[in-house]
Structure formats: structure tokens, C-alpha cells
Structure 1
């Protein structure tokens, strides 16, 4: 399988290991100070080859940046432009500058951990997790390609994401916001259908079914690098979403003088852009509503999606119906996302258990009551008494 040879250098005697790789070519590694070290290396190589676990050192000399370039191209083929934009940004900002020129066999667990700690100190947990996930995914490819024995980035403890407190508007607050908004119909539509901004602004006239009061969500218009890109909905699946009857006239007004291929909202040609979070028309409407009603919360357009879930659940809609309306992958996801909206159900469970226990206790109490003296005497004579006991027959 291989051999160990001695040779002389200016620093003294060194040992060279020669061995045959699985593909039949020869390789060598020099510089061992003792024969024992050289023999141990040869033994380890021989075992790895016999177990089909051999990693060619030449393959490990590729840089993280070289592998990442291929990995990002692969992701671009399967991810939406908006998701791809986030990955590319993470590579340019965090991963590439630190690891782009580093050979994959030089990546150390402790170095990755220190890098993650540094990002977490300056950025939010979401940014840290995304950057770490990108590096780990690229190194996973190196392991699958048999360039590395194991991924040195795996097993690092990451910061926890803290969920933003959700805000739910009441019916009255939705009315107030709509009355102060530049586009009141869109406010009502988002608050009572739960569509994402891109899904609502991607709707076309042909997607509206007036007879059933439903819209067919088939497209999603999202902002990527300053341009609106239209694609499939977030889950890649079309869905039918109902809207309440009181929106009927407002929706019909949006359809006026438009062709089936025109967009439902806006001028019919270009999707409405998400308003700026500081000085856009939506933020301005929120500020005016807060001046009118001091209890009005500061919200974003996406909070109207949460409002739709809240209003539907409080109206008695079951979880499965809410899941389909929102386009969640499963009812479990809806429950996890809006667990706080089901606190009243927990109160109902407690009340139901109390009622059940009281009923059971009452039955046990009635069954344990002793019979009256008249009933006991009648039972001994085999005659019916007040308890309704059946008469007995002495001949049986």
C-alpha cells in the first residue's frame, strides 16, 4: 500500500511517505521528523482508503470562495429572486470578506465560532444565523464532495431569534386607519384577507371571482434591488381566498375600466410598491391615526396580515380555514405562529374540565346515597319499593 523512506536535510533526518491513491495514482507526503510519525500517517491513510473514506489533500486546497461561487449558482436555480438577494447580500457583507480566500482545509471550528460571536455582537440574530448557515452549507458540499472528512462549522451554538411582538387591530381601528390612508381599499383588503403585500398587489382582474367573493392568489410581486419582480406565491402554491361581503362594492370599483390582465390595485399596469416605512403613505396614515386615537399601535403593512388572522379566529374560524386563507404550509404552522390568539381556548378547556368534574362528582354522590328504610324492607320481602327494584320470585 505504501512505504516510508528516510532522507537528509540541512535540519537533519526526515521521512517521506509514499502511497497509492484509490484512483491508482501515486502520492507522497514528506517532512516527518520521526519514522514512527511517518508510519502512523501511512497506517491512517491505508485505513481510510480501505474504508473508502480517503480525502485527497489536493482536493482540499480549494478556497471557500471557489466552492461558494458554484453553490450560489445552484441556489439561484431553485430560490426566488428575493431569497437569492438575501443570500448574496450575506455573502458580500459577512461571509466572503472573512472566508472567501481561506482554503477549506484551513477552516477551524474555533475560528468559525469566534467569527459567529463577532457578528452576533454587532448584528441581529437573524443576520448571524443567515451568515453562519451560508458558510456551513458551502462546507457541507465540501464534505459531500469528499474534500473534507467533516464540516468544521457544524455544532456551533447560535443566538436565538426573538419574535417581534405582533400587533392586532380591532375592527374599529381598521376603519380608522382606512379613513386616514391614501389607499383605503387596499388597507381593508389586507386586513380582511390576510394576503401578503406582494400577493395583494400581484392580483389581476381575472383573479377575482365576484360570484363567490374570492380571489385566486397566483402571483407575488416583491421588491428586489429596487425593482419589482413578479413570481409565484411564497409557498409556490396558488390558493383561493375569500373576502367579506362588505368589501364587495369596493372590489367592484377596483375592477372598473380594467381588462382581465390588468392588476387589481393601482393603475393596472405596474404593481404598487411597498410604501416607505418612514415617510410613505402607510406610515403617514398610522401617524394620523395615532394622533386621533392615542391607543392606536404603530404598525407596518404586514401587521394587517396578523390582524386578518386575529379577526378570523375571534369570529370563530377554525384553524384549518385560517391556514388556507393565510397560505401556511400546515395548520401546525398557523397554531405555532398565532398561539397567543388561542388563549381563550385554554380558558374554555379549564371551564370544560371543571364542568365535567362537577358532573362526575354529582353522579358518584347520587349512586353512593343509602336506600330508604321502606325500600330496604320491600327489597327483603321481594316487593317493589320506591327505588323501583324489580320483584323477586321465590321459586327461582
Structure 2
């Protein structure tokens, strides 16, 4: 039995009546030839109608080939909205951390669904996604969302993951693939020098309220900023650091957990890459950390407010860090707590650390990621390498007789 065939609609009384009425009204009559086929579930489907039989036969061949190759897709499956598929996709993501799940939820609600939610999958095209990516970066007064490169990439990434999930059943390919994405500019990185780090740490440790009292985290601010700037810890890794994870004698810290904001609550989970790591502590930071470690229970938080509560990034950034930046006369640089991580990378590279050392310190998944972000900071050592190779060659070949004519 044929899987697809061309049907002559003149065999139907209903069709002939429709043709007669169209001619009487001087309208174009409906197309004569219809393609029908059995889908993989055995149901009869329509593959469209055509005025000319060769066009119908061409469509018949296309459907037969797709059924034979296993690439068949029910056209109706691509009519489902992006919003419906996004919700189904998110419900299946039981493989990710709760904080990542909420991050995806936020990106969908803020950027993806307002633009694409009501559209059927079949109406989402590569060039339209490229326009959307550009609009995300435009200033708000120009109709954009004023997102930076990283947030733009995250928003596109979520849309792409949803669309990829729809391949191959509902879409032949992911229309988000190949869309040009922005790269973080050097302007998004802020690199402090040693003097600036010291100024910021001192200012943070000296903060006072308008009533002359020390701020909630002033007692830990100095050590916290120095640790961020010289170890490259993410803020929430430092905030979740327990006393028992610091070995001041060996001058190292074991990073095993991090804090995350989940539905406005602080939860503890594994680090971003899912792997623990050990980072070195500068000898000069040992006296800064010792008062926060000595004599305290191993499960105590190293960095806590005066009332013993965890230091939460959202509050600390606004109430403490921003004030310290201003007091240290570093405002106007776009400095944020996370950019102290960039400072740590730049200072390590300037001190001679190679890419694998920086990767291990920062906890990047790959050295490629480290090079993508900080490759421009590594010195150009081509001449140095060439000279070293030449010295090795000279020593290795010194005992060989010189060749004639050389």
C-alpha cells in the first residue's frame, strides 16, 4: 500500500459543487489535486492541494522520501507556541541546580517569552533571532533592553536550548544556531592594581552608618575584599566559606560550596562547575584572615554580619561595596564585586602565572574559557621562546662538524 498518493478531487460531489459556485461567482475555483498520505501512526493526513498534477506529484515524492528516511515531521507539531514548549522544557530540567533553574525562569520571563512566547515554532526564523539579539543590547530609549554582552548571550542561550529541544520532531533544525553573538568587551572588565585594591579594602573596613556606627559587615569587609581580589573566588563562594575549609598553616582554601539565591531564599549548593577546588592564600593575607578563623567552630561562616547572618550579595553590594568604592575614589570605573575576580586574574597573570594556573585558581571548566576571557592579558613571549629554542639548538649541535658551504 502506498504511503502517499495524489487524489483527483473531481471524484467528490462536494468539490464539484464548490467549483460550480466559484465559476458562477467568477472566482478562482479550488485546486483539483490533493496529496494524501499515512503518517507514522497510520492516520491519513493532507499534504496540500495543487492546481497542477506535476506539482502534486512532486509533493508526493517529498513526503514519501521523508517517511522513508525517518525525517518526517507532522506540520501540525510546529504550530505549537514557543511559550508552551518552553514550559515543557523547563519542567524536564531536573538535571540542573535549583539556582540555574530559577535563572532560566527569569530569562524566559524577562526576555524570551515577551518576544517569542505567542509565536508558533514554525514562525521563528534565524534572521529574526539575530535582530532580537541586537535589540537586547540597544539602550532603552532606543527600544532595546540595554543588556550587556554576557546577559545577551544568556538570553539567547535559553531560547536556543528550548528550540534545540524541539529538534527533530517539531523543527528540522534549530533556528537560533549560527546567530552572531556579542563578545564581552575589555570595557566590561575592570582591573585594579595593588594600590587600588588596598584603598578599597581599607575603605570598606572603615565604613560607618550616618549615626557613626560600623556597618553590618564592616568587621569582615577588608578581609573579604582582599580575598576576592587575590584568590578570584566568586562572591557567593566566599560568602559560603566555612572556617574548617581554611588552612592558614598551609595557606590554602578548599572551595566545596557556594550560596545561591533561589526564589528569594539563600541556599547552599556545589560550586558553579560542580567541582571542588583548592586556591592558594597570599602570605600577607594570613594575618587578615586569622581573626576570622582562630577559636571559631569549623562549621561557622568565615564572613558574617555583626548579627551572625550570611553576607548576601544583593544587600552587601548596595549598602557596603558601593559606599567603599565611592570612599576609595574608584567610582566611575564600573566596578562590581564580581569584577574583583577579573582583578585576581590580571594580577596573577602579571606575576607570571600561566593559563592552567589561572584556570585552576578561578575554577574555570576549561583553559579555553580562561583564554577567551583573559587571553589578551598574557604577555607576548614569542621572542623569548624563539631565543630559548635557539640556545637549546646551539648546545645540542655544538659538537657536530660544520657543513661545507654553510
Shorter-normalised TM-score: what interval? Answer: 0.7 to 0.9
Who is 2:95 aligned against?
78
Who is 1:4 aligned against?
7
Quote how far apart the aligned CAs of 1:13 are: 4.8
Who is 2:369 aligned against?
333
Q: Is the 8 A contact 2:6 2:56 kept in 1?
A: no
Q: Is the 8 A contact 2:125 2:175 kept in 1?
A: yes
Q: Does 1:247 align with 2:285?
A: yes
Who is 2:347 aligned against?
311
- Residue aligned with 2:31, SS: strand
Instruction: State the TM-score, normalizing by the size of structure 1.
Output: 0.77
Q: Is the 8 A contact 1:290 1:297 kept in 2?
A: no
- Aligned match of 2:302 in 239, 247, 264? 264
- Residue aligned with 1:216, SS: strand
| Distance across 2 between alignment mates of 1:107 and 1:344 | 44
Q: What runs of 5+ residues in structure 2 fail to find an aligned partner?
A: 10-14, 23-28, 139-143, 206-220
Q: Is the 8 A contact 1:221 1:271 kept in 2?
A: no
| Distance across 2 between alignment mates of 1:88 and 1:37 | 46
CA-based RMSD of the aligned residues comes to 3.5
Quote how far apart the aligned CAs of 1:236 are: 0.9
Q: Is the 8 A contact 1:4 1:39 kept in 2?
A: no
Residues 279-302 of structure 1 show CA distances to partners (whole Å, capped at 9, x for unaligned) of 4322222222228xx9x9663222
Q: Does 1:21 align with 2:24?
A: no
Who is 1:287 aligned against?
326
Q: Which moved more, 1:204-213 or 1:105-114?
A: 105-114
Q: Is the 8 A contact 2:228 2:340 kept in 1?
A: yes
| Distance across 2 between alignment mates of 1:126 and 1:319 | 22
Q: What runs of 5+ residues in structure 1 fail to find an aligned partner?
A: 369-396
Who is 1:390 aligned against?
none
Who is 1:393 aligned against?
none
Who is 1:149 aligned against?
172
Q: Is the 8 A contact 1:277 1:300 kept in 2?
A: no
Q: Is the 8 A contact 2:47 2:59 kept in 1?
A: no
- Residue aligned with 1:150, SS: coil
Quote how far apart the aligned CAs of 1:197 are: 0.8
Quote how far apart the aligned CAs of 1:198 are: 0.9
| Distance across 1 between alignment mates of 2:354 and 2:47 | 67
| Distance across 2 between alignment mates of 1:30 and 1:310 | 62
| Distance across 1 between alignment mates of 2:342 and 2:383 | 22
| Distance across 2 between alignment mates of 1:155 and 1:57 | 24
Residue 250 to residue 232, structure 1, CA distance change in 2 (3 Å)? same
Who is 1:237 aligned against?
275
Counterparts of 1:69-148 in structure 2 under 5 Å? 69-75=87-93, 77-121=94-138, 122=144, 123-124=146-147, 125-144=149-168, 146-148=169-171
Q: Which moved more, 1:236-245 or 1:26-35?
A: 26-35
| Distance across 2 between alignment mates of 1:59 and 1:350 | 60
Instruction: State the TM-score, normalizing by the size of structure 2.
Output: 0.75
Q: Does 1:179 align with 2:215?
A: no
Residues 95-118 of structure 1 show CA distances to partners (whole Å, capped at 9, x for unaligned) of 212322222233344544444444
Quote how far apart the aligned CAs of 1:158 are: 3.9
Quote how far apart the aligned CAs of 1:316 are: 3.9
- Residue aligned with 1:139, SS: helix
Quote how far apart the aligned CAs of 1:215 are: 1.4
Residues 140-189 of structure 1 show CA distances to partners (whole Å, capped at 9, x for unaligned) of 22223x22233344444444443435333333333322222132111222
| Distance across 2 between alignment mates of 1:281 and 1:153 | 41
Q: Does 1:220 align with 2:258?
A: yes
Number of residues of Structure 1 aligned to a counterpart in Structure 2:
360
Q: Does 1:38 align with 2:56?
A: yes
